[in-house]
Structure 1
Amino acid sequence: MSNVITLRNTGGFTRMDNELYEALIRADLSGRELRVALAIHRLTVGFNVEEARIAASVIAEMSGIARENVSRIIGDLIRQRVLYRSGSSRAPIGISPSREWKIDVKSDTLDKAPKSTQSVKNDTSKVLKLTHNKDSKDIPVPSELVDAERQPQQPELIDQPVRQESKVASCPHQAIVDLYHETLPELPRVALLNKTRQQHLQARWRESDVHRDLDFWRDYFAMVKTSKFLMGNIPGRNGNRPFRASFDWLIAPSNFVKVVEGNYA
C-alpha cells in the first residue's frame, strides 16, 4: 500500500521551496516561532507574493497565539533575520532567504539532577526501655535517657523541601535598565533610576506573567531596535528633528502597549 496521497479535489495546497522547507526543519526555532513563521509563509508565498501587510491579529487567529505575543515573536524573528520588514512596523513582511538567517543558539541541556526525596530517620539507639519497675532500682539510669523515654521520639526529616508562599517577585529595575543600555546604545541613556521610573517598571512587570521575565524585556528592546521610526532613522516632517524613543517613552503604559502590539507609526 502506498503512503503517497494524490492531491485531487482538495481545498487547495501551498507550494514551498525545498530549500526553505529543509531550512525550517533544521532551524532551532521554538514551537511558537515556527508557527508564526509558517503562518507568514502561508499568507505570502501561499498567495504567490513575496511580502504582504499582515496584522498581528490575523496571525494570532491562525496560530492560536495571543496577539501581544505574536508581535513580540515577529520582532524576535526579524532580529534573527528569518523575517524582514520593508519599513516601519506596519510595512509589508516576508520570509528572508535561509542563507541570511542568524538564529539564536538555544540550549538543549536537560537538568538531570535527581530530585530530593523526603526520608524519615528514627534514632532510638540511645533510649533505654525499662521492662520492669524492679529492674530500675538496681540499674542506674542517666537522667537524659529517662527524659528520652518519657517523651515520644520525633522523626527527623531529611532533605525536607521548604514551602514558600507564592508571590510576585519584585521587579529587577536595574537589570531591565542594563538590558536597555546593552540592546539600544543609540537611544538616550538612563542616568538616574528615580522613583517614577521604578514605579512605571513595577507596573509593567506586574501586568502579565509574560512581563515577569528578563527574556521578555530583552526581546522587547530588540523589537524596538528593528523600528526605524523608534530609532530616529526617519526624517521629521517640515524640517523638524526625527522622533527618537527614550526609556521613559518605552515604559509608559500606552506606548508600551503600542510597541508590544506593533501599533506605533
Structure 2
Amino acid sequence: MSNVIQINSRTTGGFTRMDNDLYEALIGADLSGREMRVAMAIHRLTSGYNKDSVKVAALYVAKMMYGDSAKAEAERANVSRAINSLIRQRVIFRDGGSRDPIEFLPVSEWKIDSNQSVLKSTHCVEKVHATVLKTTHIKERNTNTTADAVVAAVASTDEDLESDAEEQGTTTPDQPEASKAERIPYDRIVAIYNEVCGARLPKCIKLTNKRRTQIKGCWNLEFNGKYPFRKGEFWSAYFTDCLTNKHWTGENDRGWTADIEFLTKQDKVLKVLEAL
C-alpha cells in the first residue's frame, strides 16, 4: 500500500499557487523576516485570489501577520516600512501612493540589498571610530518592538548618533557641556543620505548653513518624548520612504527631483512620517 497521501482542496481548505521562479527567488532572497512575511501576505492576496495586484493597507497586512490585536496596530509602521523596502528593492511594485495596487515584479527586475557600507569618522590620530551602518533599510529589528521603540527606531546593528555626537564634543572640565543638539554629526547624516538616495537624487556635496539648520530641526524633532532622528537607522528608513514618492524622484512634468535640503524641511518630514 502506498504511503503517499493525495492532497486536495477538500482536505486542506484550498491552495495558493506560486510560480516556481518566484518561489525559488524568495527562498534565495536576503530579506528580513518581516519583509518575507509581508511578501508572502501580498502573494496570498494576489495569487490566492487569482489577481495580479491588490489594494491593501499596511494595517490589514499587519493583522494578517499578528491577528486583529493591539500588536497589529503597534506594528503597522514597521509593516509599512517593509512594504516600502520591498518596493525599493523592486520585489513588488506600486504605481502611486499608499492607496494604489501592489503587485509582484518579475524576478529579473529584483534589486535585493546585499552590501553594507562601512563609514569611519576620526577626530584624532590615535583614535579611529568605525561602525557598520546598514544604510539601505531595516533588516534586523526585533519583531517584538513596542510602539515607542518603533518611533525611536533603535536597532542592535546601528550605533546611536547621539552618542557619536557626544564623542565629537570639545568640552573641558572648566567649560559647561555643550547642548547635545549643538553637537550634531552632520557629516554622518549626509553620508547616510548620499548612500540611500545618491543613485536617484542629487548627492549632497556641501553643507550650507540652511541645510545645517534644517538637519538640526530634524535632530530636535520630538515624538512621544523620543528623538527618532538621533538614530542613524531612522535617517536611513526616512530617506528610503522618501524615495517612494514618485514626484520627488523625478516623475513629474519638469523632471524635478528633491534633494537633502528639500527632504529635511519640517513640513516634508511630517508629511512622510504622518503617511506611515
Category of TM-score, reference length = shorter chain = 0.5 to 0.7
Change (3 A) 1:201 1:243: farther
Point out the structure with max Rg over C-alpha. Answer: 1
Is it true that 1:219 corresponds to 2:237 in the alignment? yes
Q: Runs of 5+ in structure 2 lacking a partner?
A: 67-71, 117-159, 166-183
Q: Secondary structure at the match of 2:9?
A: coil
Is it true that 1:25 corresponds to 2:43 in the alignment? no
Listed as ranges, the matches of 1:127-142 within 5 Å are: none
Q: Secondary structure at the match of 2:221?
A: helix
Q: Distance in 1 between matches of 2:243 and 2:214?
A: 24
Farther off after superposition, 96-105 or 5-14: 5-14
Is 1:52–1:94's contact at 8 Å kept on the other side of the alignment?
yes
Farther off after superposition, 50-59 or 10-19: 10-19
Q: Runs of 5+ in structure 1 lacking a partner?
A: 108-165, 236-240
Amino acid at match of 1:32: R
Amino acid at match of 1:184: C
Amino acid at match of 1:200: C
Q: Over residues 176-202 of structure 1, what are the superposed CA-to-partner deviations in whole Å (9 max), with x where a residue is unaligned?
A: 233224433535955225455314223
Amino acid at match of 2:113: D
Q: Distance in 1 between matches of 2:53 and 2:249?
A: 23
- 2:272 maps to 259
- 2:208 maps to 191
- 2:155 maps to none
- 2:55 maps to 53
Change (3 A) 1:194 1:97: closer
TM-score by length of 1: 0.60
Change (3 A) 1:188 1:82: closer
Amino acid at match of 1:52: V
Q: Over residues 29-80 of structure 1, what are the superposed CA-to-partner deviations in whole Å (9 max), with x where a residue is unaligned?
A: 1101101111111122222111122211111222236111122222211221
- 1:121 maps to none
Say which structure, 1 or 2, has more relative contact order (CA 8 Å, 6+ apart): 1
Is it true that 1:86 corresponds to 2:95 in the alignment? yes
The count of residues paired between Structure 1 and Structure 2 equals 200
**CA root-mean-square deviation:** 3.6
- 2:41 maps to 39
Work out which of the residue numbers 2, 15, 18 in structure 1 matches 2:17.
15
Is 1:205–1:211's contact at 8 Å kept on the other side of the alignment?
no
Q: Distance in 2 between matches of 1:197 and 1:62?
A: 37
Is 1:72–1:260's contact at 8 Å kept on the other side of the alignment?
no
Q: Distance in 2 between matches of 1:251 and 1:44?
A: 36
Is 2:221–2:228's contact at 8 Å kept on the other side of the alignment?
no
